[in-house]
Amino acid sequence: MSKHPFEHFNLDSSLIDAVKDLNFNKPTQIQNRVIPKIIKQTNLIGQSQTGTGKSHAFLLPLMQLINPEVQEPQSIVVAPTRELAQQLFDVAQQLARFKQDVNVKLFIGGTDIERDRQRAKQQPQLVIGTPTRINDLARNGELHVHLASYLVIDEADLMIDLGLIEDVDHVAARLSSEAHIAVFSATIPKSLHPFLNKYLENPDYVEINNKSQNKKNIEFYLIPTKGDSKVTKTLKLIDILNPYLCIIFCNSRENADALAEELTKEGIKVGMIHGGLTPRERKQQMKRIRNLDYQYVIASDLASRGIDIEGVSHVINFDVPHELDFFTHRVGRTGRGQYKGIAITLYSPDEDENVMLIEEKGYHFTNVDVKNGELKEIKAHNKRHTRKKQDDHLTQQVKHKVKRNNKKKVKPGYKKKFKKELEELKRQERKQYSKKQRRINKKKK
């Protein structure tokens, strides 16, 4: 009988059973590279985008390292948002069902701290949570963080953005000098370097980065909104799409609220996820989203980083993100695992430059528009820019040939005459270029 692909990591048979239960047929790229390193207990920096199988890349080996007979914290995983911490806890719980006598506990903000203090009396072997709550419990001696031999920091760049890195620092400072740290981040901003230099001596570095960012199971579409408002274009899309679940991303909670109001007026039931909701409202919304109460969910970039929603078939970028890394995080919500996904980006003329920057990062769009109730392919948005670039180059090439009037006094009609001569020279250059190309083509034949 052939071995299961995960068996080459020398995982316990119970964890192999857990992997089989998940229907994982083979390790992802990051799992192949990270699992052996954490099992060897090395310091590690892992850079990868969302949807690469990162959670299991560190939770499987952490489970492998846990000794069920030792009733003290052995590993700690910190995440920047409650939702992400909850998701990691759910993954760990699934693994713990197979590896018996492993106690996993979740400690997050927005919950009763007195209850957490009572829960911490029975020390878990695997601690998962948000850094502020874990730090609060550790500072008062209720959670024995200092005994852990491994700390995993997930979404470290978001820790920076949300101002949580100081709490992470306090947690890391409690560890013994023999403990190891793994840091996972989609990007490694300069503001993260002081923390990395402070705690990670000679870390192994794992980067998962494809030159072409397009995932084979996601279709990327680009739709212009010139002549239509973005709300009108979104309504046209809703008329023709029939998603299992679609997330519509906005750049701000104000835009998200305004869009939700417009869609609700049209009788469209929408969910909402953004930083303006209270913890209780966010929890209620997430429950309704997971129960498929909504077909459309309007979200800010919080959802692109800290929330994993299953079954997202479509993503619509109502706004082109200001932070271009967020484009990757947003579209990564769909096309996960073996599922297909569609990512649609609406753009107005003033967002054209950002779209080109996204393309430079390796994304390739199909340019389409909504016509007669269908998505129809149109000319690429950058054709005009390419023509303009070529024309600018030609202008620089020939304008020295036009006799300039360098005198301070300019004769009436001089600028018009200069422009006319310039255009004539450019026309002649194009004509000569065409003749030259014809001669080259004849020789080839």
More confident residue, 403 or 234: 234
Give all strands of the β-sheet with 75-78 in edge-to-edge order. Answer: 104-107, 126-129, 75-78, 150-153, 180-185, 44-47, 204-207
| Res 384: pLDDT | 45
Q: What is the predicted pLDDT for the residue at 48? A: 81
Which CATH number fits the domain that encloses residue 234? 3.40.50.300
| 292, 440: one domain | no
Average pLDDT over residues 243-253: 92
Amino acid identity at 192 = L
Lowest pLDDT segment from 19-28, 119-128, 304-313: 304-313
Number of independent structural domains in the chain: 3
Residue 385 forms part of a structural domain:
no
> Average model confidence (pLDDT) for the chain?
85
pLDDT of residue 113: 94
Does pLDDT of 381 surpass 60?
yes
Please indicate, yes or no, whether residues 251 and 104 belong to a single structural domain of this protein. Answer: no
In a domain, 386, yes or no: no
Q: 180 and 327 share a domain?
A: no
Question: What one-character-per-residue DSSP string does 235-255 give?
Answer: HHHHHH---SSEEEE-SSHHH
Q: Is the CB of residue 238 less than 8 Å from the CB of residue 296?
A: yes
Tell me which of 207, 228, 244 is where a domain ends. 207
* pLDDT-based confidence at residue 306 (cuts at 50, 70, 90): low
Least confidently predicted of 27-31, 142-146, 341-345, 361-365: 361-365
Same domain for 360 and 257: yes
Nearest to 234 by CA among 344, 364, 355: 344
pLDDT bin (cut points 50, 70, 90) of residue 387 is: very low
Burial 393-432 (b: 16+ CB within 10 A, else e): ebeeebeeeeeeeeeeeeeeeeeeebeeebeebbeeeeee
Same domain, 291 and 368: yes
pLDDT band at 38 (very low <50, low <70, confident <90, very high): very high
290/180 same-domain check: no
Confidence of residue 154 (pLDDT cuts 50, 70, 90): very high
Q: Which residue has the higher pLDDT, 270 or 277?
A: 270
DSSP character at residue 207? E
Answer with the one of 175, 207, 239 that is the final residue of a domain: 207
CA distance linking residue 74 with residue 148, whole number of Å: 4
Structure tokens at 407: 């005198």
List, in order, residues 6 or more apart from 263 with CB less than 8 Å away: 231, 234, 235, 238, 270, 296, 298
- Let me know if residue 384 belongs to a domain: no
Main-chain phi, psi angles of 426, to 5 degrees = -65, -40
Which structure tokens are listed for 352?
A: 């054209």
Answer whether residue 84 shows pLDDT above 80.
Answer: yes
Most confident of 91-100, 155-164, 212-221, 267-276: 91-100
Looking at the structure, tell me whether residues 195 and 227 fall in a common domain: no
Residue 399 is assigned to a structural domain of this protein: yes
Evaluate whether residue 212 is within a structural domain: no
Q: Which domain holds residue 85?
A: 5-207
296 and 174 co-located in one domain: no
pLDDT above 70 coverage of the chain, percent: 82
| Residues 245, 133 share a domain | no
- Given 147, 174, 207, which residue is the final one in a domain? 207
What confidence category does residue 407 fall into, taking pLDDT thresholds of 50, 70 and 90? Answer: very low
Tell whether 416 is covered by a domain: yes
Assess whether pLDDT exceeds 80 at residue 440. no
Percentage of residues of the chain with pLDDT beyond 90: 56
Do 162 and 303 fall within a single domain?
no
According to the model, what pLDDT value does residue 229 have? 87
Q: Which residue would you say has higher pLDDT here, 371 or 307?
A: 371
**How much is the average pLDDT of 94-98?**
96
Q: Span 428-441, mean pLDDT?
A: 61
Which of the pair, 439 or 72, is modelled with greater confidence?
Answer: 72
**How long is the chain?**
445
154 plus 222 within the same structural domain = no
Least confident of 29-43, 135-149, 249-263, 304-318: 304-318
